[in-house]
Structure 1
Amino acid sequence: MTRISGLASGMDTDQMVKDLMKAERMPLDKLNQKKQYTEWQRDDYRSMNKLLFDLDQFVFDGISKQGTYTKKTVTVSDPSAVTIKNINSTSEFSGTVKVNYLAEAATMFSTAAKDIDPAKTLNQHVPPVLSQTISIKAIGKDGKLETTGFSYTIDPSKDTLNSIIDKINKESGVNMFYDTVTQKVSITAKNTGNAGTDDNSDIELSGDFLINNLSLSSNNVDAKKAGFGSLGKNASFEINGLPTSRSTNNFQINGVDYTLNKKTDTPVTFSSSTDTDAILDTITKFVTKYNETISKINEEISEKRYREYQPLTKEQKDDMDEKDIEKWEERAKSGTLRGDSALSNGLNQLRANLYSAVPGAGFSQLSQIGITTSSNYLEKGKLVIDPDKLKAAISKNPNGIYELFQKEGATPADQGIARKMRASIKDIMSNIEKKAGKATMTNQSFTIGRLLDTMNNSINRFEDRLLQVEDRYYRQFTAMEKAIQKSNSQSTYLMQQFGGGQ
């Protein structure tokens, strides 16, 4: 439809329609403002879930792990000879270690020099190497010779000595290199130890390329007898006076890790003590994280709502500077979660978890290890640590503290505090998710999402209606302009007629 804008009347009809539409658009602006506020509320709910998720992971990675409470300081009289660290022993340990000799890896090397260009393909050698399968077996980490080992079919048109060595080093139980000075190949088992007795091989080779082209023995026992290799050797040592051996210099006994570094003439003494500071640090970090979490949640549910500060429309923002917009929106976003029941009830449940007793644990309540609730009611349940009392509890019974936090139980009442907390956190997050969902969910799967879809539908319908209203206003003004134009034409005609009669 052709729009005639004030040609006959002289009025700015475009501006008049714009002003009229402002009034018509007011309900739509309110609907958009409500939608914006609802989106802010959804995002704030999700930030609370992120906060709770972080706390849950912090609990899981810290006070819930038994390894936290088995941290020990190990004192060794000669750490250059023997390195000792605790892995998961819950009790203190001490003793002596005397190293008779270290574990060694079996070796073998070529019996004769071979002038080889390691970069050339094998079909260029004189005589050329034929296609064939080579295999290598070596002692494993268990101290036994591999049953299958490494096998590879050589393609002389593609393979070089370098490419074969690279493949052997990556996939087999040995390390190999070719020395261009001596023109010999050297092989060393990746694992130390002797696979049985001196008559048992620690490395076995097959394939014409390895045996003939590289002049290697078929096994390290034969290589040693010919003077071109050595046997693997087990570590021999005495622990607390007991003679024993291992195929490797690193091993564990009763949750304690030992690394033998060199032979000793006299026994090396060692002893352990609880690493009180490390355990204290983990528990302190948990308390700090918990306090930060409940502080943030308390801020959200008690934050003031400024109803007079509604989200700004585009037109309003156009008339304001950035600082004023920022200040306004800070107030407009405030209080989105004020008084939320899912969060407030969740905080109450977390506090109840901390106050509850744990029957059958080394310590039954947090107060027994020096952790209590702040007496300042304004801090709303923050935890306070008595470092001296907590240190004493750690020194006395670190495993008892682990039970306090992580004890298993047939019912929640029998479980440790951390288990109860994690279950409560899961419930809070689930309730929030039902309201606000998460980024990967569709709007129809949570309450606020469905509400936003309803608002979007209403906004779309209202915008369609506004287009119709605007079109109606323009039709009315166009009709008025045409009527005025027609009246003006008639007046002009009459004036001409009267003028013509004089």
Structure 2
Amino acid sequence: MALVTNLGAASGLPLATLLSSITASENLPLTAMSNQQSAYNAKLSAYGTIQNALSTLQAAAAQLGNPTLFQNVTAASSATSVLSATGTAAAGSGTYAINVGQLAQAQSLATGGVASTTAGIGTGTVTVQFGSISGGTLNAATGKYSGATFTADSTRAAASITIDSSSNTLAGIRDAINKNTSLGVTATIVNDGSSAPNRLVLTSNQTGATSTMQISVSGDAALSNLLSNDPAGTQNLQQTVEGKNAQLTVNGIAVTSASNTVKEAVQGVTMTLAGTGASSLSLQSNTATVQAAITNFVTTYNSLQTLTKQYTAFDTASQSQAPLNGDSTLRNIQTRIRDTMNTPQPASGSGAPLTMLAQIGVTFQSDGSMAIDTTKLTSALATNLSGVQNLFSSASGTTGFGSKMSTLLSGFTASNGPLKSATDGLNNSLKTLATQMTSTQSMISTTIARYTKQFVDLDTLVAGMNQTSSYLTQQFAAINGTTSK
């Protein structure tokens, strides 16, 4: 309630000052509640920041707990014009001599020339079957085989399209083939400049010797004469590009591939062939990635430590404390993290056993932070990557500092974890406090209103008595003056 600013003006009594003092006194409980409310909100904000820091640390720990991090391999080709490569977790370090003698290519067939692309040809059903050609002789000039055998690829079913009156032109046949992706063929029209210049060119969508086309036609003779092509029989089309497998050697061992993307010729490696020639393929464990992950973990851990000190500090000079000073939830989290980091891991792996972080140069400092001896860590990664992997991770996910810390930190930030319980408790306290503050404010307003009314009444009464006193004094003075005369 607003104070009556001219209270006491009529009576001359210090009623406004008195009411102000009473109001301040009555507001003391409300002020204490408001201070408590601010403290709760500061705690909530601090918990939120700590939760984010824990989540960041959990992500860093999870990365170290993943065994594939330590199996990352960098593949480098000495001749990128011949091949490029990528390694997976299954690849091992080593150097391989690669010689590419032939690239994989897709077969192309061309029809005889047609004068017009829009003139009707014929209707019927066109069926394409893929397979391989063996034996016989290829006439390079005519692009046709003699004495060859065609063997269908049993893994790929034949596919058909229907050519009707709406698609029986050269352009229509082209469009019908391209619309039916199940055929596995792309069609184009090439103009060779002759008197009947338009030739339909069919190209297999897949490279390799087993992607050679056998085309059969049932329907009009004109359509059959244009498109039917059996490498082991009647061939109405000219082979302009032969379907071939890629041919290469890996350390002298012959390798063939239907595609120019060669997988697992070297375990865990995918090579993309770009040209013929020789190249040296080098595979090296990418220890830089592992070192970056360990450094990131240490950095995020130290960030958490900095926040923890900030939120638990006590300023002796001002006798003020940070929001989480003495907080048991945060103290328990700190203790469990430190205990986990100081618990030796089981010795395993093919290299020298590593059980503690100090063995790879990661140590705790006197202020609670962690530091990295880069020289020691680099040496451990170069000479005992297997040991470092087992120090941080395992296939089961139950051992290793990365796995253990990831599980622990996930529990802290979970919906049923200690931070959630603490924040839920604070939010409940804030709701209760808000109710108490509303009730207290109402009582204070009622009390001040009562005092104000009483003081106003007192001011009026005293003012009236003062007026009466002044009047009587004047009258007595007048009477005394008359008597003396």
TM over 0.5: yes
* Contact residue 237 and residue 245 of structure 1 kept, 8 A: yes
Structure 2 distance, partners of 1:220, 1:297, is 78
Q: CA deviation at 1:48?
A: 0.7
Aligned to 1:364: 354
1:276 to 1:496, Cα distance in 2 relative to 1, 3 A: closer
Answer yes or no: is 1:343 the counterpart of 2:330. yes
Partner of 2:283: 272
Q: Is residue 391 of structure 1 aligned with residue 378 of structure 2?
A: yes
- Say yes or no: does 1:373 pair with 2:363: yes
Residue number in structure 2 paired with 1:57: 59
Match of 1:353 in 2: 340
User: How far, CA to CA, are the matches of 1:494 and 1:279 in structure 2?
Assistant: 103
Kindly state the Cα deviation for residue 83 of structure 1 after the two structures are TM-superposed.
1.4
Shift of 1:417: 1.3
CA distance in 2, matches of 1:186, 1:21: 98
Q: 1:135 to 1:428 in 2, by over 3 A?
A: farther
Cα deviation 1:291-333 (Å, max 9, x = unaligned): 33234324433x1157978xxxxxxxxxxxxxxxxxxxxx6xx
Separation in 1, partners of 2:462, 2:188: 103
Distance between the aligned counterparts of 1:199 and 1:92, measured in 2?
41
Correspondence list, 1:119-268, <5 A: 145=156, 192-194=206-208, 196=210, 198-199=212-213, 226-227=237-238, 233-253=244-264, 254-264=267-277, 267-268=278-279
Tell me the equivalent position of 1:460: 438
Aligned residue for 1:326? none
Find the aligned partners of 2:31 and 2:66 in 1 and give their Cα distance: 53
How far apart are the structure 1 equivalents of 2:308 and 2:456? Answer: 59
> Which structure has the bigger radius of gyration?
2
Tell me which residue corresponds to 2:150.
Answer: none
Q: Which amino acid is the alignment partner of residue 273 of structure 2?
A: L
Q: Which moved more, 1:396-405 or 1:466-475?
A: 466-475
Partner of 2:94: 93
Name the structure where strand makes up a greater proportion of residues: 2
Do the aligned partners of residues 138 and 340 (structure 1) sit closer, same or farther apart at CA in structure 2, a change above 3 Å counting? Answer: farther
Contact 2:107 2:212 in 1 (8 A): no
What letter matches 2:89 in structure 1? N
What is the aligned counterpart of 1:300 among 289, 311, 316? Answer: 311
- Tell me by how many angstroms 1:489 deviates: 9.1
Aligned position for 2:26: 24
Matches within 5 A, 1:470-485: 470-480=448-458, 483=461
Q: Is the 8 A contact 1:192 1:233 kept in 2?
A: no
Report the secondary structure of 2:26's partner residue.
helix
Q: Is the 8 A contact 1:38 1:448 kept in 2?
A: yes
Do the aligned residues in 2 keep the contact of 1:67 with 1:88 (CA within 8 Å)?
yes
Following TM superposition, by how much is the alpha carbon of 1:335 offset from its aligned partner in structure 2, in angstroms?
Answer: 1.6
* Kept in 2: contact 1:143–1:195 (CA 8 A): no
**How far apart are 1:54 and its partner, in Å?**
0.3
Tell me which amino acid in the other structure corresponds to 2:363: T
**Quick check: 243-252 or 228-237, which moved more?**
228-237
Instruction: Choose which of 279, 288, 292 in structure 1 pairs with 2:299.
Output: 288
Distance in 2 (alpha carbons) for counterparts of 1:493 and 1:148: 125
What whole-Å deviation, never above 9, does each CA across 1:403-433 have from its counterpart, x for those lacking one?
21112559x5xx1111111222233332122
Q: Find the aligned partners of 2:307 and 2:100 in 1 and give their Cα distance.
A: 57
Q: Is the CA contact (8 Å cut-off) linking 2:208 and 2:243 kept in structure 1? A: yes
CA distance in 2, matches of 1:305, 1:272: 56
Which residue of 410, 426, 433 maps to 2:410? 426
Determine if contact 1:85/1:257 at 8 Å carries over to the other structure: yes
What's 1:443 paired with? none
Shift of 1:52: 0.7
| 2:401 partner letter | I
Residue identity opposite 1:43 in structure 2: S
* Aligned residue-pair number: 421
Preserved CA contact (<8 Å) 1:346 1:424: no
Hey, what's the Cα distance between the residues in 1 that align with 2:14 and 2:116?
101
The answer to whether the 8 A contact 2:310-2:322 is kept is: no
Q: 1:336 to 1:197 in 2, by over 3 A?
A: closer
Query: What do residues 209-234 of structure 1 show as CA deviations (whole Å, max 9, x unaligned)?
Result: xx99xxx9699999x95349756543
Deviates more, 1:348-357 or 1:448-457: 348-357
* Contact preservation (8 Å) 1:70, 1:86: no
Task: Specify the SS of the correspondent of 1:100.
Answer: strand
Equivalent position of 2:38 in the other structure? 36
- Report the identity percentage: 20
| Ranges in structure 2 where 5+ consecutive residues have no aligned partner | 121-125, 132-152, 477-481
8 Å contact 2:73–2:92 — kept in the other structure? no
Cα displacement (A) at 1:351:
2.5
Inter-partner Cα distance in structure 2 for 1:32 and 1:307: 24
For residues 230 and 327 of structure 2, the distance between their equivalents in structure 1, rounded to whole angstroms, comes to 75
Structure 2 partner of 1:79: 80
Could you tell me whether the CA contact under 8 Å between 1:64 and 1:406 is conserved in 2? yes
Unaligned stretches of 5+ residues in structure 1: 117-125, 128-133, 310-330, 437-445
